[in-house]
Amino acid sequence: MKHITINGKAYEVEDGLTIIEAAKRNGIQIPSLCYLEGVHEFGSCRICVVEVEGAKTLVPSCMTKVSEGMVIHTNSERVRRARKVLYELLLSDHSKDCLSCKRNQSCELQALGKQLGVEATRFEGSRSECVIDMSTSITRDMSKCILCRRCVTACNEVQGVGVINAQNRGFKTVIGPAMELPLGTVNCAFCGQCTVVCPVGALKETDSIQAVWEAINDKNKRVIVQTAPAIRVAIGEEFGNEPGSRVTGKLAAALRRLGFDDVFDTNFTADLTILEEGTELLSRVKSALTGGEAVLPMITSCSPGWIKYVEHTYPDSLAHLSTCKSPHTMLGALAKSYYAGKIHREPKDIFVVSIMPCTAKKSEIIRPEMTNDGLPNVDAVLTTRELANMIKEMGIDFNSLPDEEFDNPLGMSTGAADIFGLTGGVMEAALRTVYELVTGRELPFDGLHVTPIVGLDQVKEAAVTIEHPLPDYAFLDNVTVRVAVTSGLSGAHQLMERVADGTSPYHFIEVMGCPGGCIMGGGQPRSDDPDVRTKRLRGLYTEDEAKVMRKSHENPYIKALYAEYLEHPNGHKSHELLHTHYVRRGQFNELTQERFDLGVRSVEKKRDTIAAQAAAEAVAKAESKAHEELESVRVLALEAENTRLKAELADVTETVGFFKSVIADYASRDR
Amino acid sequence: MNNAQSHCSCCQQDGMEPFAELDQAIDLYRDKEGNLIQILHIAQELYGHLSLELQEYIATALNKPLSEVSGVVTFYSFFSTTPRGEHTIRVCLGTACYVRGGKKIVDALQKTLGVDIGGTTEDGKFTFEVARCIGACGLAPAMMIDDVVYKQVNINKLDAILSQY
Nearest-Cα residue of chain B relative to residue A317: B4
The answer to whether A129 touches A140, Cβ cutoff 8 Å, is: no
Instruction: Tell me what the mean pLDDT of segment B81-110 comes to.
Output: 91
CATH code of the region A128-205: 3.30.70.20
pLDDT for A671 equals 53
Q: Does the CB of B11 have a partner CB in chain A at under 8 Å?
A: no
Q: Given an 8 Å threshold on Cβ–Cβ distance, is B124 in contact with A611?
A: yes
AA identity, residue A83:
R
Q: Does the CB of A587 have a partner CB in chain B at under 8 Å?
A: yes
Q: Given an 8 Å threshold on Cβ–Cβ distance, is A634 in contact with B55?
A: no
Instruction: Tell me what the mean pLDDT of segment B20-37 comes to.
Output: 86
Q: In whole numbers, what is the pLDDT of chain B averaged over residues?
A: 85
Widest Cα–Cα separation across chain A: 118
Residues of A in contact with B81 (CB under 8 A): 179
pLDDT at A523 over 80: yes
List the end-to-end C-alpha distance of chain B, in Å, as a whole number: 66
Question: Smallest Cβ distance to A166: which of B24, B71, B82?
Answer: B71
Q: Does the CB of B74 have a partner CB in chain A at under 8 Å?
A: yes
Q: Does the CB of A160 have a partner CB in chain B at under 8 Å?
A: no
pLDDT for A605 equals 41
Task: Provide DSSP, A14-42.
Answer: -TT-BHHHHHHHTT-----SS-BTTTB--
pLDDT at A285 over 50: yes
Tens of pLDDT, residue by residue over A578-610, are 999 999 999 888 888 766 555 444 334 433 444
CA distance A233 to A235: 6
| A70-74 own/partner pairs: CB under 8 Å, 24+ apart | A70/A2, A70/A4, A70/A5, A70/A19, A71/A4, A71/A5, A72/A4, A72/A5, A72/A6, A72/A7, A72/A19, A72/A23, A73/A6, A73/A7, A74/A6, A74/A7, A74/A23, A74/A28, A74/A30, A74/A50
Asked whether the CA dihedral A56, A60, A61, A66 is positive or negative, the reply is negative
CATH code of the region A209-578: 3.40.50.1780
CA distance B145 to B90: 6
pLDDT for A608 equals 44
pLDDT for A610 equals 43
Q: Which CATH class is domain A2-92?
A: alpha beta
Q: Does the CB of A170 have a partner CB in chain B at under 8 Å?
A: no
Residues of B in contact with A624 (CB under 8 A): none
pLDDT at B30 over 80: yes
pLDDT at A223 over 70: yes
pTM here is 0.83
pLDDT at B13 over 60: no
Contact map slice: B 30-69 vs A, CB within 8 A: 42, 45-48, 51-52, 55-56, 60, 64-69
Q: Given an 8 Å threshold on Cβ–Cβ distance, is B56 in contact with A590?
A: yes
Tens of pLDDT, residue by residue over A387-438, are 999 999 999 999 999 999 999 999 999 999 999 999 999 999 999 999 999 9
- Confidence at B5, pLDDT banded by 50, 70, 90: very low
Instruction: Report percent pLDDT > 90 for chain A.
Output: 80
In three-state form (DSSP H/G/I as H, E/B as E, the rest C), the secondary structure along chain B is: CCCCCCCCCHHHCHHHHHHCCHHHHHHHHCCCCCHHHHHHHHHHHHHCCCCHHHHHHHHHHHCCCHHHHHHHHHHCCCCCCCCCCCEEEEEECCHHHHHHHHHHHHHHHHHHHCCCCCCECCCCCEEEEEECCCCCHHHCCCEEECCEEECCCCCCCHHHHHHCC
Integer CA distances (angstroms), A630 to B19, B35, B36, B95, in order: 13, 16, 16, 36
Tens of pLDDT, residue by residue over B103-154, are 999 999 999 999 988 888 988 899 998 888 888 899 999 999 988 999 999 8
Tens of pLDDT, residue by residue over A434-455, are 999 999 999 999 888 998 899 8
Q: In whole numbers, what is the pLDDT of chain A averaged over residues?
A: 91
Question: Smallest Cβ distance to B52: which of A295, A496, A604?
Answer: A604
Nearest CA-CA distance, residue B46 and chain A, Å:
6
Tell which residue, A547, A253, A231, A236, has the closest CA to residue A404. A253
Q: Given an 8 Å threshold on Cβ–Cβ distance, is A499 in contact with B6?
A: no
Catalytic residues of A: 277, 280, 302, 322, 361, 364, 369, 518
Q: B87-163: which CATH architecture?
A: 3-Layer(aba) Sandwich (3.40)
pLDDT for A629 equals 64
Tens of pLDDT, residue by residue over A71-88, are 999 999 999 999 999 999
pLDDT for A480 equals 94
- Confidence at A300, pLDDT banded by 50, 70, 90: very high
Q: Does the CB of A147 have a partner CB in chain B at under 8 Å?
A: no
pLDDT for A121 equals 85
DSSP A265: E
Tens of pLDDT, residue by residue over A127-156, are 888 789 999 999 999 999 999 999 999 999
A94 or A621, higher pLDDT = A94
In three-state form (DSSP H/G/I as H, E/B as E, the rest C), the secondary structure along A131-189 is: CEEECCCEEEECCCCCCCCHHHHHHHHHCCCCCCEEECCHHHCEEECHHHCCHHHCCCC
